[in-house]
Amino acid sequence: MQKQSNSRSLKCQLAMLCPLFLISLITIAILSSNVNFPSSIFASEMTSITESLIVLPYSLRSQISILQTKLGVLLEQLHNESPESKELAKFSDQVLHVAILVDKLANTLASLSNNVSASVNEMSKVHEDFTEAAESEDQEESMGLKVVFNSGELQKYTSPKPNRENKKNFLGVEAISPSIGFGCAHSATNLNRYMSYKMYGLCPDDGDLAQKLIISGCDPLPRRRCLSRGPPSYSRPLAANHSLWTQPSDANILWNQYKCKGYSCLVSNETKDRRGFFKCGDCFNLSKRGWDVPTNETISAEFTIDEVLALKPGEIRIGLDFSPTTGTFAALMRERNVTIAPVTLNLGAPFNEVIALRGLLPLYLSIGSRSPFFDNTLDIVHSTLFLDGWIGVELLQFVLFDWDRVLRPKGLLWVDRFFCRKEDMKMYLDEFLRLGYKKLLWRVLPKTDKLGDELYFSAVLEKPIRK
């Protein structure tokens, strides 16, 4: 009885898949045949096919993908069944044959999409009909990696790029596979927008879209084949010995995506509530060359740069600063012959542009990105007013272990003014202590600009030598 029930179930599944089988077989026959269609339907030669003549509906690709998945499940069930008759074995062979045909159909459609998009030099994308399936970002989130990207340019970018003559290159591979962030699968609509542009034309003015994708985990973003936009009246930058503490020219910043349209707006008290950023209120004021650090340890949660450098005289040469910053910490360190790479996003204002105009090296990364440095290479990692009570413990762990990876043995981790609620401080301190670093400087004090329910934590910790 159980075997009969299973057989009925399998036959019912096949009956439900029959309409999709029929569509697949008809489409395969059309695409693989040599039938001559009237010129009003298709051009006489493949080279004359244009975007306006072939439209690939999103629903067709989606249904084929679903069909492939269901066929795989059905084949697995048939494999697990005991072969009670020749009829069942024959049925299994037929299902396998159909599955192979569907795979060929999927490959043919993909090849056709690439041929059509490659024949058009105007817009580097494949036009598709989205009237049947316009999906929101929330729906894409639930679909995960099953999202179908419709941008032809994105498909070209992510496909492996074979070397000439298919020989291995100096890296030891026969093809280069470009990288793209895992989170891109959850932001297909925005990524398709980002990858829609005129090849060799000016890139769209979409820096805000790019940053939204990066923050959402679509990092690294795919490369694009368009020309970057720049300030139309760009002037010569200042020399290195003057640029660190001189306000940059408005003409050297592209202001379109920011609320402020000039540098004076970034530093004026009158625009304080309309600047578009809040994490570091005075960081664009380049006249403030340092921190006003009280010497009384019972008042200040900060350490001075000279105090920290004195812990390792002559040993601190290169490092990383993970902070919402315009590069002031890196500028102060440069004056002490230490090279620091500031890491920040453009949080409502031109942070990265200002860092570069000061003659420093900006790294445009999110907190979710892996540090782009090799293991055991940096002398110091510094972070201020960035990690605080908003961060979850698991994310903090991944961040700290990544910093541990890039720090050399005996390197310094400088945590500057980490703050959170009093009741949460022990939980965070435990995570720092679990690294097994040596405490060189350590301070926990009340955060006085609030109602007294928050604490500051600052520390300089030394990475141990591990064998």
CB 406 within 8 A of CB 381: yes
The two tokens of residue 431 are 């995570």
The two tokens of residue 135 are 């999906």
Range of lowest pLDDT (106-110, 149-153, 186-190, 333-337): 106-110
pTM (2 d.p.): 0.68
Binning pLDDT at 50, 70 and 90, where does residue 396 land? very high
Judging by DSSP bridges, how do beta strands 438-446 and 339-343 pair with one another? unpaired
How would DSSP label each residue in 235-270? -PPPPHHHHTTSPPPGGGS--TTSS--SHHHHH-GG
What is the CA angle 131-132-138, rounded to 5? 95
Mean pLDDT of 48-68: 53
Q: Has residue 164 got a pLDDT over 70?
A: yes
What is the CA angle 96-101-106, rounded to 5? 125
156 alpha carbon, distance to own chain's centre: 18
**CA–CA separation, 267 and 282 (whole Å):** 7
pLDDT for the residue 69? 67
Beta strands (DSSP E) in 145-282 are 161-162, 175-176
88 alpha carbon, distance to own chain's centre: 49
**CA–CA separation, 401 and 339 (whole Å):** 22
Q: What is the DSSP letter of 185?
A: G
pLDDT for the residue 144? 42
**CA–CA separation, 331 and 318 (whole Å):** 13
**CA–CA separation, 362 and 350 (whole Å):** 11
Look at 86 and 356; give whichever has higher pLDDT: 356
pLDDT for the residue 270? 85
Say how many C-beta atoms besides its own lie within 10 A of residue 409's C-beta: 10
Q: Look over the chain and give the mean of its residue pLDDT values, rounded to a whole number.
A: 79
Tens digits of residue pLDDT in 286-299: 876 655 565 565 66
Q: Which amino acid belongs to residue 32?
A: S
Binning pLDDT at 50, 70 and 90, where does residue 113 land? low
Q: Has residue 344 got a pLDDT over 90?
A: yes
**CA–CA separation, 262 and 348 (whole Å):** 13
Range of lowest pLDDT (5-9, 153-157, 172-176): 5-9
Range ranked top by mean pLDDT from 3-7, 273-277, 337-341: 337-341
Binning pLDDT at 50, 70 and 90, where does residue 7 land? low
pLDDT for the residue 52? 40
Question: Bridge-partner residues for 275, per DSSP?
Answer: none
Q: Has residue 346 got a pLDDT over 90?
A: yes
Range of lowest pLDDT (7-16, 97-106, 275-284, 371-380): 7-16
Mean pLDDT of 245-269: 92
> 414 phi and psi, to 5 degrees?
-110, 105
Q: Has residue 371 got a pLDDT over 50?
A: yes
Look at 33 and 188; give whichever has higher pLDDT: 188
User: Which residue blocks in 370-462 are alpha helix, DSSP H?
Assistant: 393-406, 422-433
Question: Bridge-partner residues for 339, per DSSP?
Answer: 318
Binning pLDDT at 50, 70 and 90, where does residue 39 land? very low
**CA–CA separation, 128 and 54 (whole Å):** 9
Tens digits of residue pLDDT in 176-190: 989 888 899 889 899
Q: Has residue 142 got a pLDDT over 60?
A: no
